[in-house]
Amino acid sequence: MIHPTAIVDAQVEMDSSVEIGPYAVLEGKIRMGRGTRIQPHAHLLGPLTLGMDNILGTGTVIGQAPQHLARQKSKGGVVIGDRNVFREYATVHRSIEDHQSTVIGNDNFLMGFSHVGHDCVLGNRNVIANGALLAGHGAVADQVFISGYAVVHQFVRVGRLSVIGGLSRVLQDVPPFMLLKGDGEIYSLNLAGLKRAEIPLPVRAQLKQAFKTLFYSGRSLPAGLGLLEKIPQPSKELTELIHFLNNSKRGFCWAHDRRGQRRDGEETSDFGETALDSP
């Protein structure tokens, strides 16, 4: 099922069910599982491993050299799991380190012109919207939504079930379960996402209280984390949030009060319930 205009390197290993469209180019050591579909003008470069049932849209480029001035000749690779969709002209670059890989898990949806930089690690069931850019060495957990034309700085971690709003500029880690907008501002807990993920109501209530304790109680970060760590029988989601914050190397995005002032623990905010209850 290979179109006669496609160019397929002799090193490519693939299941007989793989479909390769017109003018696609596959070069280097590539392995592809069953059900994968490669649409016209896609360009794949090895070392590359693709699992099952992936869809690579028109003009997709996977495995191209990293956009790194000193490492463009690296022999790193890309490893991709199952059931991922890469829409038209999405790009994923290989690792800057020889014998290491940029990694994408399962069931991710990368929309048109989105970009995953070298050495990124994406988990499962993430949505990267049109034109969103992930710089090198980023880490995106599971069930994250990165909206259109958002840009994420290199080495930034994005926590599970978080949402980054369109046109956002993200320079620090995004804690799990948060909604982010603008210049790295956390403005709410992702209540709608938590409900869709079937997180139980008592857990959502615990996370809501943690949100207020961390960002709108007037406490310093160490004091707020100290209180959260004393909660008896914390949910695994609360434990995940605490662990994420305690292990941030870049620092993490923060919340602002109504007047747009960064919360630093020196004054008590009069922030109300609106943002917490917003969808």
CB atoms under 10 Å from CB of 94, counted, come to 27
Shared domain check, 112 and 18 = yes
The span from the CA of 39 to the CA of 43, in Å, is 10
Distance CA 261, CA 256 (A): 5
The verdict on residue 180 lying in a domain is: no
pLDDT digits (tens, 9 = 90+) for 35-70: 999 999 999 999 999 999 999 999 999 999 999 988
Q: How far is Cα 30 from Cα 79, in angstroms, rounded to an integer?
A: 10
Could you tell me if 57 and 75 are in contact, meaning their C-beta atoms sit under 8 angstroms apart? no
Residue 274 in this model has a pLDDT that exceeds 60: no
* Residues 118 and 243 reside in one and the same domain: no
Whether residue 89 is contained in a domain is answered as yes
Element (H, E) at 203: helix 201-215
Any idea what DSSP says for residue 205? H
User: What CA–CA distance (Å, rounded) separates 29 from 32?
Assistant: 10
Lowest average pLDDT, out of 25-29, 65-69, 92-96, 133-137, goes to 65-69
Domain end, chosen from 140, 155, 173, is at 140
The answer as to whether 152 is a domain residue is no
Alpha-carbon span 74 to 71, nearest angstrom:
5
Residues 6+ apart with CB under 8 A from 70: none
* CATH classification at residue 59: 2.160.10.10
User: Which of 140, 159, 184 represents a domain boundary (last residue)?
Assistant: 140
> Number of folded domains in the chain?
2
Reported confidence tier of residue 74, pLDDT bands at 50, 70, 90: confident
User: What mean pLDDT do residues 205-213 have?
Assistant: 96
Nearest to 146 by CA among 130, 164, 162: 164
Tens of pLDDT, residues 96-130: 999 999 999 999 999 999 999 999 999 999 999 99
Instruction: Mark whether 30 and 131 lie in a shared domain.
Output: yes
Same domain for 96 and 20, yes or no, is yes
* pLDDT of the residue at 257: 57
- The count of other CB atoms within 10 Å of the CB of residue 273 is 9
**Is 150 contained in some domain?**
no
User: Quick check: is 79 in a domain?
Assistant: yes
Q: For the chain, what is the mean pLDDT?
A: 92
Distance separating alpha carbons of residues 203 and 34, to the nearest angstrom: 39
**Residues near 162 by beta carbon (within 8 Å), at least 6 away in sequence:** 141, 144, 145, 174, 175, 176, 177, 178, 179, 180, 190
My answer on whether 134 and 63 are in the same domain is yes
Does a structural domain hold residue 176?
A: no
Per the DSSP assignment, residues forming a β-bridge with 109 are: 85, 127
Based on the fold, state whether residues 133 and 210 are members of the same structural domain.
Answer: no
Tell whether 161 is covered by a domain.
no
Q: Within this chain, do residues 131 and 205 fall inside the same structural domain, yes or no?
A: no
Average pLDDT over residues 162-176: 98
Helix, strand, or coil (residue 188)? strand
Average pLDDT over residues 267-276: 33
Domain containing 120: what range?
A: 7-140
Residues 14 and 113 in one domain: yes
CATH of the domain at 219: 1.20.1180
